[in-house]
Structure formats: structure tokens, C-alpha cells
Amino acid sequence: MSIVKIVIPPIGESINEVTLGAWIVSDGDYVEEGDELVEVESDKATLPLPAEQSGVIKIIAQEGDDLEIGAVVAELDTSASAPAGASTESAPAPQASAAPATAVQSSGDKNYPSPAAGKILAEKGIDANSVSGTGKDGRITKADAMNASAPAKASADKPAAAPSQEIAAQVPTSGVSREKRVEKMSRLRKTIAKRLTEAKNSTAMLTTFNEVDMHNVMEMRKKYKDAFKEKHDIGLGFMSFFTKAVTMALKEVPGVNAQIDGDNIIYHDYADVGIAVSTPKGLVVPVVKNAESLNLAQIEKEIKRLALKGRDGKLTVDEMTGGTFTITNGGVFGSMLSTPIINIPQSAILGMHNIVERPVAVNGEVVIHPVMYLALSYDHRIVDGKESVTFLKTVKELIENPERMLLDV
């Protein structure tokens, strides 16, 4: 027998501990080299742990365990061979008495539950096919199983002719639910909470506001979006315009692109712009590196690439570190106005909001134009009021006159 230990590998600088996520395989499964075994959740990202060799796996660590780098999570018997005449995904046909969740696990359905979720569903007598999974590729997580409810069974001794009476009898008289559930806070959520609290407590944060008339940039987008899509194979959105405007404003007001390091101030001659992305696991901020050197099409492609990886939980630590400035867009959720919190150690963050038609004065006449409120939160220890207002005003003017971005004037 040849046993290989599967350990938590080094993930990134300053990351010493991780939380074990959902096991993708079950104890005793035969796995091939390269197969994903389990999700590992660090402070910055959730990464899959692949098998380095083929063999039969013995699971040691359980879902939700907090483990140090180098900890053993499983053992692999590499001397074992794959079952004859069967792929690694095949399994004996489930017996008639098997729980519904087990049958789905064996068949490899997209609603494949994690081991913990399968056990909970089996105890509840719930068919996994009736549960919508929120995990990767529709996988049913432990939380999904805990929240799942068994379907109401029709009463055989009551005639089907009086549905209104049955419904009335089932409605609680109070109409108020007193149920509650407790879930362990994920490592990513704990990190978000810690960093936001640290930002509020360790910076002299102040927010300044302005409004931007979106009429001209929307007309430009409307005019060229089809040609842009045809040439670059990517849609033309507003985020690329704002990212480009930010990089140009950072050149004019370099203090907004700086950060405090002890008694020193570090200025950057480049703009690594973080784009806040909402994912099922929480808010992540992947970074568009050297955004100042990219055109609109390149910015759009990079934002899309990072957003898709964020949604699928495949962002690397390198893709989420090193930003010099951050943009967050609460407008996609309908936010009219907010005061975003600085992403430390950065010194400022730009908040975008929803676009609403409002009356504005243009050349002495009142017209209806699409307007967005912008918010710039900044660390007053390093950025003065004049700099913050100048920066936000520059972004406003570039968006209202988008041809300036194309001409770099």
C-alpha cells in the first residue's frame, strides 16, 4: 500500500490559516490525478484543491474545519486501481431503500449534494432533485440542505373538492414565523468585517459628492455599441468609461492614488484599479492592473474576465491584491446614494450609483437628462479637500465630455 498525504498548500503571502469548504468527492472514492477534491477558503479567495495522483481517497478533515498551511486533510492510496469497467464517476446502482439524496449523488446530477448536505436531505426525506443548489455548478451545500423543506403531502382521506377549506385550516392564526437559524461566518465574511471595521477606525474618512450628466456618454455608447461589439467581441458598458476617467484623474491628482506607510507616503505612477464585485460568498475586489495603459475594449475584457472568475470562486490571491484605487457600483442594485468605505491601505474609493432621469439646466433651458450621483470617500490624513473635490470634478467632466478620454485632453 502506497499512501500520499494531501495537505493544505501555501496560498499566498500572510495567509497562515484557511477554512475547509465543501468536499467534492466522498470518502472511499477513486479519484484521478487533477480531479478537484475540496474547496479551500482563505481570507481573500476560495480555491479548489486538486489530487496530485490517482487513487482511493480517505477523508481526514471535515467541512468547516479551520486549518493551518501544511495541515493534512486526506490520504490517497495510490496503489489502489480504478474499479474495472467503470469510470471514476460510476457507482453501484442505489437500492430501492436508499435515500433520494444518495441516488442523486451516485448519478452525478447537477444537483449533486455535498456529503454533509446529502446526510441532512436523507434525514429529512427530501429528494435532492427538488432542491436548488447555490454552490459551484449548482452543487447543493450544507446551508441549502438545512433550508430545504419537505414538500407538503396531500391528505388521502380528504376530498379534493374543498381546497379553500384546506388552505384556511393550514394558515397559522398569528401569521408570524418565529424560526431562526445559525450559520458559521465564512472566513471571507470575517475578513470583510475585520477590514471594514479597521478602515472605519484607522482612517480619517470623509466623503464628497457630485452629480454627473450621463447624456453624452450614453449617446456615444448608443451610437457605437454595435460596431464596438462587432470589432472587439465585447459589450461597451459604463464601467470602462469610469475606469478610464479615474486613471486620467489620478494623473492630475496623484495624492488620491497614494497610501500611507508609517511616516511615509507612497505615490504610484501606475493605476491598479480594484473593481468591487458581489459574489455568492461575499464582496471581492479583483484588480485591473495598469488600467491607465488600457483602452476601453481592454478594460471591458479584463473586468468581464475578473467578474466571471469572482462569480465562480476562481480568483487567485494575486488577482485580488495590490490595488491603488477602488471603484464600487451600487447602482446596479438600485442605490441612489451611499458613502463607500475605503479599501485600506488605499486612500480613496469612488462610488457609482443608479442613473435616474432628472431636470437639468443646459444652455439656459431645462431639459430631462439621465443623471448619476458620484461619491468619493477619502482618507483626510493624506488627501485634502481641494484634492478630493478636484479629482471628483475631473471624473465628472471626463464623463460628461467622453471625447476627451479618446483624445487624452
Taking residue 120's Cβ as centre, other Cβ atoms within 10 Å add up to 21
Cα–Cα distance measured from residue 307 to residue 292, given in angstroms and rounded to the nearest whole number:
19
User: What cell was used for 36?
Assistant: 478537484
Residues composing the chain: 409
Closest CA to 243 of 302, 284, 283, 313: 302
Mention every residue, 6+ apart, whose C-beta is less than 8 A from residue 116: 22, 63, 142, 145
* Angle at which helices 115-124 and 100-107 cross, to 10°: 150
Q: Is the Cα dihedral 287, 289, 291, 292 positive or negative?
A: positive
DSSP conformation class of 83 = P
DSSP conformation class of 299 = H
Cα–Cα distance measured from residue 298 to residue 136, given in angstroms and rounded to the nearest whole number:
28
DSSP conformation class of 113 = B
Closest CA to 128 of 119, 222, 82: 119
Cα–Cα distance measured from residue 158 to residue 109, given in angstroms and rounded to the nearest whole number:
36
The values of phi and psi at residue 173, to 5°, are: -65, -35
Give the H/E segment covering residue 248: helix 238-252
The values of phi and psi at residue 312, to 5°, are: -90, 0
User: What cell was used for 229?
Assistant: 461589439
- What is the greatest pairwise CA distance in the chain? 86
User: What cell was used for 289?
Assistant: 492592473
The torsion region of residue 228 among left (phi > 0), alpha (psi -120 to 50) and beta comes to: alpha
Cα–Cα distance measured from residue 108 to residue 56, given in angstroms and rounded to the nearest whole number:
18
Bridge partners (DSSP) of residue 9 are: none
Catalytic residues: 380, 384
Whether 109 contacts 128, CB under 8 Å:
yes
**What are the residue ranges of helices labelled H in 125-214?**
142-147, 163-170, 187-202
Cα–Cα distance measured from residue 21 to residue 46, given in angstroms and rounded to the nearest whole number:
8
